[in-house]
Chains A and B, each alone.
Chain A
Amino acid sequence: MTKAVIDQLRNHVGAKNVYDEKEDLLVYGYDATPEVSALPDVAVFPENIEGLRAALAISRAEGLPVTPRGAATGLSGGSTPINGGMVLGLTRMNKIIEIDEENLTATAEAGVITIDLFNAVSARGLFYPPDPGSQNVSTLGGNVAENAGGLRGLKYGVTRNYVMALTGLLADGTEFKTGGKCVKDVAGYSLRDLLVGSEGTLGIITEITVRLISPPQEKRTLLASFRDIRTAGEAVSRIIAARIIPATLEIMDKMTINCVEDYAAIGLPRQMEALLLIEVDGHPAVVAEEAAGVRRILEEVRAAEIHQAKTPAEAARLAAARRTALSAVARVSPTTILEDATVPRSRLSETFAEIERLKEKYQVRVATFGHAGDGNLHPTALADERNRTEIEHVHAFFAELYEKVLAMGGTVSGEHGIGIAKKGYLLRQFGEGGMGVMRRIKNSFDPGGLLNPGKIFIDDASSTKVRTEGGLHA
């Protein structure tokens, strides 16, 4: 990277928005994915669309790969610049542009922190449901690019279900706008749906319009503990089969319970094998009925204990504690490798049994938690990346688990995306044919291949000069 290019970037994007010192580059090379980190050549943080346009023009002129970056809480390596080049940070484009109470929409720049949008609309009596565990940090752009889910995903859906319109730039500088405030819109191909979940490989998203709804009038939070994790899985399947759709239906296993309790100290039952956090919300009459229904099922499957949160504050504490599960589990060992396996919900109990069996077989320590109601589990291996044998066992564990998950009709990613971590698994899920179609879509958006190269598609990896902390995982 020449001094001239840096100067050019400084001129166009603002001197304080361009970093090329080694200390800065080092910290723009990672996200929350373990074991993966790379050095970009420059990190650029445009404050507006003009700056962004200029940065992209310079990247084209110089042939610099561009890696979009939100808050870098991603769990599949999406915002790591594994081909070097430019990290394009969106966090300085962070204005909430409009909350339209007549159309029930909000429009915000991509760098707005998820919780900030939630709070802003909530102050107007409105509700933006998507709430990834990282919501205090993650950006809307990152949420859209990963199609993030959250604790409320079961009843309210994921980010995709709320995106109405997107604005942004393609790598060649083309400005796109797709969707709008119309609740019905079938004009043309749904580019919007292509961009949601595109992991920064198709275009840079600058503005997002989301759908808002009315907050539920009432909610009730239940905490059920189990002496056996399979029973917890059975409870989930039966709740769904009884056509009760709680807003939240989260699971934590014993290891997770203990780590979360170490951090949050809210009195979780440490000796139990599994916990379900269940929240039903909506109209008071429905809430009462659903809560009773859930309780009945919990009693039928013989949950060890059923506890109802007494106050909204207690319910909030429980949900907040669940959100910290991954990071709390990370206290146990230096390296925490989490996966995102998702199965049809009738197969949950079986999946738990399988995890138990594979833990034994490969002798790995695994904590499991996740969005049980969605069938989306996060088995998380606790390891030490300095111990390569242990890491190999972990990868073998996940490889076999994913075989099973795919055989059950599951998917290799429920919400964290493919990035670099799961390229191999994706190929297995889609086959050459499916990947070929995706490749053609990628080429039509980004023929120059400048945008986030090395992600999702397996063949890009061969040309990468990956610099990692201890080898790529998966």
Chain B
Amino acid sequence: MPESSPVGNFNPADAPSYESILQCMRCGFCLAVCPTYALTNRERSSPRGRAALARAVAEGRLEFTAAVGEEAFFCLDCKACSTACPSGVQVGTIMEFCRSQEQNFHPPSVPAGILRDFILKRMLPSPDMMETSLLPVRLYQRLGVQWAVRRLGLNRFLPDTLAKMEGILPTLGRPLRLNIPAVIPAQGKKRGRVAFFLGCAMSLVFPDVSRQTARILAQQGFEVVTPAQVKCCGAPHLAEGDRETARRLALINLELFLGLDCEYIVTDCAGCGCALKEYEELLAGHADHERLRLFRSKIRDISEFLAEVGIRTEELKEVPLSVTYHEPCHLVHGQGLSVPPRQVLRQIPGVELREMKESNWCCGMAGSFALKEIETSRKLLERKLNNVRATDADVLVTGNPGCHLQLAWGVREMGLKQPVLHIVELLGRALPK
């Protein structure tokens, strides 16, 4: 097979590989699972259509037009198409490359660009800065302004995005990264030593969830090492098309975690897990191949980890609840993990799992999509929550901070009864005190 890889009208830096695009044989199997196609019934917003657009650009039949950029950002990168595609085409990833191309061909306006660069290149890479930048939000929440804004419906007057952001953010506590012990000893018979990859969103927005993760790991007999020097996994940068910063962060994390001498690297953030598992591709040519392979082999989502090593269930208490499980795209499609979370749920005594329809259909959060495409996102969320409601389960469980925020917001907006819990929160309830 000639390995000629026409870049065509793509910019040579970070162009999608021609082979990956040519692999699409246009069977259309992916049409049935693509949320944006389901909403628009427009071929170019389908995986097959997006692959065809990328192909036309690569073959010089189409410029990298504004519409191509729009499609790249309209794609949720939910990777449902990758799961469905028998030919192994990864349209989400191809669109990630196109997002980075978009920055080249149609850079954002100056002020928007400065803000974007500031967030991506300065704020996200620096946990300290992220934590302080969210301080005003905390203050604002403490003072009860948030309550007032919500109660008085003042957020109607904020621009849509801010309003959604305001609505979606819960009350923030102290960032966990700063006060989680660097090493937590194993309880009972020691089974091993694991590194805990603490994600930004988990540390800032859901510190209590990650505290549960660490507690569960320790209770299950693992010594837990949580390095405070951890950097953002790079997923937001990939999503925004900033591959350069993503690589910079990935290199730091790679060295940091390989230096910890742990058998596994566990995370409770599906998005982080997915990004970490893709360092191998992201850093190909930028780091030693063997080290990348080794790193990849250690990454585990918490549910994957627990299912693999087996949960010690002897001391667990009853949690008499019916639960329904929403599969985060980055878990089910990004990492192919559908069975392990369910195995974990079934092992919690008293829990009754009630499957919802389309449990693996995107909730509409998709990174910053929920803030940018508010209407589309809301339609996806409604579809999801109608399926949740139909189960009449007591709680809604998931495993990713993005989904968690979006679902919790939707539950409030649509007046559903189900509280949203991360899978480790549910398991945490079964743990002895």
> CB-nearest residue of chain A relative to B336?
A265
Q: How far is the CA of A335 from the CA of B19 in the complex (A)?
A: 11
Is the Cβ of B61 less than 8 Å from the Cβ of A324? no
Cβ-defined partner of A134 (8 Å) among B2, B27, B68: B27
Q: Which residues in chain B, 30-47, are within 8 Å of chain A measured between CB atoms? A: 31-32, 41-44, 46
Given contacts A23-B53, A331-B86, 8 further A-B contacts (CB under 8 A): A23-B62, A23-B65, A27-B49, A73-B28, A134-B29, A136-B32, A137-B28, A262-B88
Give the residues in chain A near B133, CB-CB below 8 Å: none
Give the residues in chain B near A34, CB-CB below 8 Å: 25
Is the Cβ of B65 less than 8 Å from the Cβ of A327? no
Say yes or no: is B179 at the interface (Cβ < 8 Å to chain A).
no
Cβ-defined partner of A328 (8 Å) among B19, B62, B87: B87
Is the Cβ of A330 less than 8 Å from the Cβ of B28? no
> CB-nearest residue of chain A relative to B26?
A32
Give the residues in chain A near B23, CB-CB below 8 Å: 330-331, 334
Chain A interface extent, by class: 35 or more
Q: How far is the CA of A264 from the CA of B29 in the complex (A)?
A: 14
Q: How far is the CA of A469 from the CA of B31 in the complex (A)?
A: 22
Q: How far is the CA of A386 from the CA of B61 in the complex (A)?
A: 16
Is the Cβ of B2 less than 8 Å from the Cβ of A324? no
Q: How far is the CA of A73 from the CA of B53 in the complex (A)?
A: 18
Per the CB 8 Å criterion, the residue count for chain B at the interface is 34
Distance between A105 CB and nearest chain B CB, rounded to angstroms: 26
Say yes or no: is B287 at the interface (Cβ < 8 Å to chain A).
no
Known contacts A21-B67, A27-B49, A336-B25; is A386 also within 8 Å of B4 by CB?
yes
Q: How far is the CA of A113 from the CA of B41 in the complex (A)?
A: 13
Cβ-defined partner of A26 (8 Å) among B25, B56, B88: B56
Q: How far is the CA of A324 from the CA of B32 in the complex (A)?
A: 14
Say yes or no: is A98 at the interface (Cβ < 8 Å to chain B).
no
Is the Cβ of B22 less than 8 Å from the Cβ of A334? yes
Q: How far is the CA of A263 from the CA of B52 in the complex (A)?
A: 22
Q: How far is the CA of A113 from the CA of B29 in the complex (A)?
A: 12
Say yes or no: is A28 at the interface (Cβ < 8 Å to chain B).
yes
Q: Which residues in chain B, 45-77, are within 8 Å of chain A measured between CB atoms? A: 46, 48-49, 52-53, 56, 59, 61-62, 65, 67-68, 71
Distance between B24 CB and nearest chain A CB, rounded to angstroms: 8
> CB-nearest residue of chain B relative to A111?
B41
Is the Cβ of A91 less than 8 Å from the Cβ of B28? no
Distance between A264 CB and nearest chain B CB, rounded to angstroms: 8
Give the residues in chain B near A136, CB-CB below 8 Å: 29, 32
Distance between A124 CB and nearest chain B CB, rounded to angstroms: 19
Interface string of B187-208 (1 = CB under 8 A from A): 0000000000000000000000
> CB-nearest residue of chain B relative to A17?
B41
Q: How far is the CA of A31 from the CA of B26 in the complex (A)?
A: 7
Cβ contacts A to B, 25 pairs, < 8 Å: A19-B42, A23-B44, A23-B53, A23-B65, A23-B67, A26-B52, A27-B43, A27-B53, A32-B26, A32-B28, A72-B26, A72-B43, A137-B27, A137-B28, A262-B88, A324-B29, A326-B25, A327-B25, A327-B27, A331-B23, A334-B19, A386-B4, A387-B1, A387-B2, A469-B59
Is the Cβ of B86 less than 8 Å from the Cβ of A24? no
Cβ-defined partner of B88 (8 Å) among A23, A91, A331, A334: A331
Say yes or no: is A392 at the interface (Cβ < 8 Å to chain B).
no
Distance between A304 CB and nearest chain B CB, rounded to angstroms: 26
Is the Cβ of A26 less than 8 Å from the Cβ of B53? yes
Say yes or no: is A30 at the interface (Cβ < 8 Å to chain B).
yes
Is the Cβ of A32 less than 8 Å from the Cβ of B27? yes
Is the Cβ of A26 less than 8 Å from the Cβ of B61? yes
Say yes or no: is A45 at the interface (Cβ < 8 Å to chain B).
yes
Distance between B180 CB and nearest chain A CB, rounded to angstroms: 38
Cβ-defined partner of A386 (8 Å) among B2, B48, B56, B86: B2
Known contacts A22-B65, A23-B62, A328-B87; is A137 also within 8 Å of B44 by CB?
no
Cβ-defined partner of B26 (8 Å) among A21, A30, A138, A334: A30
Known contacts A328-B86, A330-B86, A334-B23; is A91 also within 8 Å of B56 by CB?
no
> CB-nearest residue of chain B relative to A37?
B52
Q: How far is the CA of A299 from the CA of B28 in the complex (A)?
A: 39
Is the Cβ of A92 less than 8 Å from the Cβ of B41? yes
> CB-nearest residue of chain B relative to A28?
B43
Is the Cβ of B86 less than 8 Å from the Cβ of A263? yes
Say yes or no: is A71 at the interface (Cβ < 8 Å to chain B).
yes
Is the Cβ of A330 less than 8 Å from the Cβ of B62? no
Give the residues in chain B near A331, CB-CB below 8 Å: 23, 86-88
Cβ-defined partner of A32 (8 Å) among B25, B42, B56: B25
Say yes or no: is A333 at the interface (Cβ < 8 Å to chain B).
yes
A contact set with B: CB distance below 8 Å: 19, 21-24, 26-28, 30-32, 34, 45, 71-73, 91-92, 113, 134, 136-138, 259-260, 262-264, 324, 326-328, 330-331, 333-336, 384, 386-387, 469
> CB-nearest residue of chain B relative to A75?
B27
Distance between B72 CB and nearest chain A CB, rounded to angstroms: 12
Say yes or no: is B85 at the interface (Cβ < 8 Å to chain A).
yes
Distance between A17 CB and nearest chain B CB, rounded to angstroms: 10
Cβ-defined partner of B41 (8 Å) among A28, A32, A45: A45
Give the residues in chain B near A22, CB-CB below 8 Å: 62, 65
Is the Cβ of B62 less than 8 Å from the Cβ of A327? no
Is the Cβ of B44 less than 8 Å from the Cβ of A27? yes
Give the residues in chain A near B87, CB-CB below 8 Å: 327-328, 330-331
> CB-nearest residue of chain A relative to B22?
A334
Give the residues in chain B near A336, CB-CB below 8 Å: 25
Distance between B390 CB and nearest chain A CB, rounded to angstroms: 15
Distance between B51 CB and nearest chain A CB, rounded to angstroms: 9
Known contacts A32-B25, A387-B2; is A327 also within 8 Å of B52 by CB?
no
Cβ-defined partner of A137 (8 Å) among B31, B65, B71, B86: B31
In the A-B complex, the 9 residue pairs with the smallest Cβ-Cβ separation, listed nearest first, are: A327-B86, A330-B25, A324-B86, A328-B86, A27-B49, A334-B22, A330-B87, A23-B67, A27-B43
Q: Which residues in chain B, 193-247, are within 8 Å of chain A measured between CB atoms? A: none
Cβ-defined partner of B32 (8 Å) among A21, A28, A137, A469: A137
Is the Cβ of A24 less than 8 Å from the Cβ of B42? yes
Distance between B26 CB and nearest chain A CB, rounded to angstroms: 5
> CB-nearest residue of chain B relative to A337?
B25
Q: Which residues in chain B, 302-353, are within 8 Å of chain A measured between CB atoms? A: none
Is the Cβ of A137 less than 8 Å from the Cβ of B29? yes
Distance between B53 CB and nearest chain A CB, rounded to angstroms: 6
Give the residues in chain A near B65, CB-CB below 8 Å: 22-23
Give the residues in chain A near B19, CB-CB below 8 Å: 334
Give the residues in chain B near A73, CB-CB below 8 Å: 27-28
Is the Cβ of A327 less than 8 Å from the Cβ of B53? no
Q: How far is the CA of A331 from the CA of B65 in the complex (A)?
A: 29
Is the Cβ of A334 less than 8 Å from the Cβ of B1? yes
Give the residues in chain B near A387, CB-CB below 8 Å: 1-2
Is the Cβ of A333 less than 8 Å from the Cβ of B1? yes
Give the residues in chain B near A259, CB-CB below 8 Å: 86
Give the residues in chain B near A91, CB-CB below 8 Å: 41
Give the residues in chain A near B68, CB-CB below 8 Å: 23
Is the Cβ of A24 less than 8 Å from the Cβ of B1? no
Q: How far is the CA of A19 from the CA of B41 in the complex (A)?
A: 12
Give the residues in chain A near B44, CB-CB below 8 Å: 23-24, 26-27
Known contacts A26-B61, A91-B41; is A327 also within 8 Å of B29 by CB?
yes
Is the Cβ of B85 less than 8 Å from the Cβ of A327? yes
Which of B4, B43, B59 has the most chain A CB atoms closer than 10 A to its own CB? Answer: B43
Q: How far is the CA of A24 from the CA of B41 in the complex (A)?
A: 12
Cβ-defined partner of B43 (8 Å) among A24, A264, A328: A24
